[in-house]
Every structure is written in C-alpha cells, then in structure tokens.
C-alpha cells in the first residue's frame, strides 16, 4: 500500500512492525508543537495527524491576526491598551509606565501566556468565577498563582478606565482569595541583623569593595538597588544624597547617616587617587554604570563566601525600615527617608518586624513610665 501524503505524518518500520508518527518541521515546533507517536493503526494515525495539522493552522491564523490587528473589546485588545502597541499606535498606559523594567518583564511573561489562551475572548465574558478558576488551576504553584492574579487584577483595572471599549464597571479579580500560609505562601519576615551585616561586609571589603559600598547605600538610605546604582557623585553634597526613584519617579533627598557619609567620602577619595573623578558612586572596573544583573552576579559571588543562609538582597530595604522603627521613628519619618508610601511602611512593619526582646523591653519601659514607676523603685 502506498504511503499516505498527510503533512508531517511519517510511516516507519521497527522490528518488523509498521508505526506512524507526527513529526513537524522546525518552524512548526517553534510554535510550541512537538513530535508525537501515533501508534500502529493507520486509520487512527491519519485522523490524529489531520487533527494536529488543523491545530497548527489555527495557531498560525491566530498569530497572523495578532500581527494584522485585533478584535475590539477582546482580551488581546485590552493587553494592547495596557502595555501599548506600536503597530496599532497605542501608547502604553500610565499604570504600565509606572512599572519597573524588571516588573514589566515578569508581567509580559504572564500576559503572553494568557494571550495564547484567551486571545479572542470578550472582556465582558470574564467573571469572578472564571478568574477564580484560572487562579485555582495554578494551585500546584501558589506563589505563581498569586502573582498571576496580581497581573490580571492590574489588567482589568485598566479595563475599568475604558468602559466604552470593554464595557465592565467592576474588576472580576476582586473577591478571588489569594493563597496564604495554609497553602505554603507565608509573608517573608527575615531581615539582616547587625552581626550578619558585619559578616557580609567583612567578606565584601576583601573580595569586592563596590559590593560593600552598595550594601552601605542600600541599608542606610533604604533605597532599591536600581536607585542606588543610579546615584552619582554629584548627587551627594556631603550631608545628603539625591535620589530619583525609578519605580515611582519620586525625587527625594535622603539625609546621610554618619557611617554612610564616611564611606561615600572615602570611596570617592580612593577613586580620585587612582585618577578617576566623577561618574556614579558605584562603578564597574571600566568606570561605567553598573547594570543591575551584573551587580547582582558580583553580589552573589560575595554572598556565596559568607556562609550566610536564608538572606536576600531584597531584605535590605525592609531591614532599613525595621531599624528606623526600632529607633522610634514614626511611620511618616520612615516614609520620608525610604520613599515608601505610608501604607507600604505599615505593611512592612506588619510582615517583617520580628517581636524582639528590644521591643518588649521598650514596651515595659513605656508602661512603667505611664504608671509613674521609676525602674529602681519597681516592685520585686
């Protein structure tokens, strides 16, 4: 019998038996399809191969639609309105522009995944029940499920601002319960102790002074790494340092702790003695501004030599908030230094602030003061 002429269907003999398989070319595999064995039944193999080819045709048509335009009011349309589309001359939304580049990258991963599934679905068809089913379908990775919910919530928040385009007045993500401690998602409550800081800095000073300087900038200014990497020598006036926060575009002046002043002055002095003046406070070997990924790789090399575990660079900013709170700074005072919103400061204190002996001691001291009991007269 002549071999069938179905695209990608191949027939071969193995150990005396005839087998069939669907083996697409590299361009089809690039669309997400993979080789598939189809067994020994010729008729069933032909039917299955034809079905797979129809899937390929539909995927190609979908991608072509994405390139040539969109159907108004659909999920695809909303994504274009949210993150912008140069081919449709749609500018990115304000909400999208406020996201840091790294966050945009993470959001794109989820948006692209959802586009494959919901590309032509009308926004009006999305209900809280459907969003909840999407969230529940990712129960095996609860952190990712919660992040996906955040992405969808931001997306549908944008839809509410364009009722004439999408027709919704309520965000369907509201009411969907996030995974919590019971599912293994607990708020992180780790921050750097003074001993851990000393251990890290001892190694950093020996292996990579730029990483050590980065730690001082982060822990004493309470700023994100990306903002610290952008700090220039001209932003430091000897007493305070100017910061333009990349994520919020806020412009703030941060008064410098005495330790930070001394470290910045020494860092700039050492570089000047080597013949390099100006530029950013943190610089590469070639005296260029650090890219975040490159600095992070150097940080990781230092961290690997410290023996410290369960500590992250991201914990440093929260550590700054905690230390300011332990110094009895008010929420407003903390926010004026770190650039957090008041709500975020309160959230950090709620999630990160360990109930330390120092806090308990302060609480008892305040109670004694309120009762007019002097420490030496306190009853035994």
* Domains defined for the chain, CATH in brackets: 9-68 (no CATH), 75-183 (1.10.150), 194-341 (1.10.443.10)
Bridge partners (DSSP) of residue 10 are: 21
DSSP 8-state class, residue 234:
G
Least Cα distance to 196 among 302, 309, 299 occurs for 309
**Dmax (CA) of the chain:** 107
3-state secondary structure of 19: strand
31, 56 Cβ separation under 8 angstroms: yes
- Are the CB atoms for 257 and 220 separated by under 8 Å? yes
Q: In what order do the strands lie in the sheet with 9-14?
A: 9-14, 17-22, 36-39
| Residue 83: C-alpha distances to residues 97, 104, 154 (Å) | 8, 9, 11
**DSSP H or E stretch at residue 7:** none
Half-sphere exposure of 332 (CA within 13 A, CB side): 0
Per-residue tens of pLDDT for the chain, all 380 residues = 445 578 899 988 988 899 999 999 888 888 888 999 999 998 998 999 999 999 988 888 777 666 656 788 999 999 999 999 888 788 999 999 888 778 899 999 999 999 999 988 999 999 999 999 999 999 999 999 999 999 999 999 999 999 999 999 999 999 999 988 777 666 666 789 999 999 999 999 999 999 999 999 999 999 999 899 999 999 999 999 998 887 777 788 899 999 999 999 999 999 888 888 889 999 998 889 999 889 999 999 999 999 998 888 988 998 999 899 888 888 999 988 888 888 888 888 877 665 555 666 777 777 777 777 655 544 44
Token duo for residue 54: 């129809």
* C-alpha torsion sign, points 247, 210, 329, 198: positive
Assess contact for 302 and 204: CB atoms under 8 A. Answer: yes
For residue 68, how many other CB atoms are within 10 A of its CB?
8
Residues 6+ apart with CB under 8 A from 83: 92, 93, 96, 104, 107, 108, 111
Q: What's the CA gap between 26 and 34, in Å, rounded?
A: 9
Which pTM does this prediction carry?
Answer: 0.60
Question: DSSP labels for 78-131?
Answer: HHHHHH-BTTTTBPPPHHHHHS-HHHHHHHHHHHHHHHHHHTT-BGGG--HHHH
């Amino acid at each position: 019998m002549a071999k069938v002429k179905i695209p990608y269907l191949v027939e071969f003999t193995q150990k005396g038996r005839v087998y069939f398989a669907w083996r697409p070319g590299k361009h089809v595999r690039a669309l997400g399809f993979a080789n598939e064995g189809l067994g020994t039944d010729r008729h069933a193999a032909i039917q299955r191969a034809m079905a797979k080819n129809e899937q390929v045709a539909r995927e190609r048509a979908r991608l072509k639609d994405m390139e040539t335009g969109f159907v108004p009011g659909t999920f695809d349309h909303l994504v274009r309105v949210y993150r912008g589309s140069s081919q449709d001359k749609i500018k990115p939304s304000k909400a999208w522009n406020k996201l840091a580049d790294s966050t945009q990258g993470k959001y794109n991963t989820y948006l692209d995944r959802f586009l494959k599934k919901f590309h032509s679905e009308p926004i009006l068809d999305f209900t809280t029940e459907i969003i909840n089913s999407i969230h529940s379908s990712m129960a095996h990775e609860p952190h990712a499920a919660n992040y996906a919910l955040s992405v969808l919530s931001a997306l549908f928040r944008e839809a509410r601002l364009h009722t004439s385009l999408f027709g919704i007045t309520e965000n369907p993500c509201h009411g969907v319960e996030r995974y919590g401690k019971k599912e293994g998602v607990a708020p992180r409550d780790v921050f750097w102790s003074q001993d851990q800081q000393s251990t890290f800095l001892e190694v950093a000073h020996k292996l990579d002074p730029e990483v050590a300087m980065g730690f001082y900038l982060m822990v004493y200014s309470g700023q994100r790494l990306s903002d610290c990497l952008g700090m220039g020598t001209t932003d430091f006036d000897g007493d305070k340092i100017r910061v333009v926060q990349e994520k919020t575009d806020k412009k703030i002046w941060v008064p410098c702790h005495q330790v930070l002043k001394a470290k910045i002055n020494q860092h700039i002095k050492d570089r000047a003695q080597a013949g390099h003046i100006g530029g950013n406070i943190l610089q590469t070997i070639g005296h260029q501004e650090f890219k975040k990924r490159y600095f992070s790789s150097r940080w990781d090399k230092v961290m690997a030599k410290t023996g410290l575990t369960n500590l992250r660079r991201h914990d440093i900013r929260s550590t700054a908030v905690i230390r300011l709170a332990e110094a009895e700074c008010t929420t407003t005072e903390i926010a004026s230094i770190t650039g957090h919103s008041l709500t975020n400061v309160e959230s950090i204190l709620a999630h990160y602030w360990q109930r330390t002996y120092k806090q308990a001691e302060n609480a008892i001291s305040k109670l004694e003061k309120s009762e007019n009991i002097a420490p030496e007269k306190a009853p035994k």
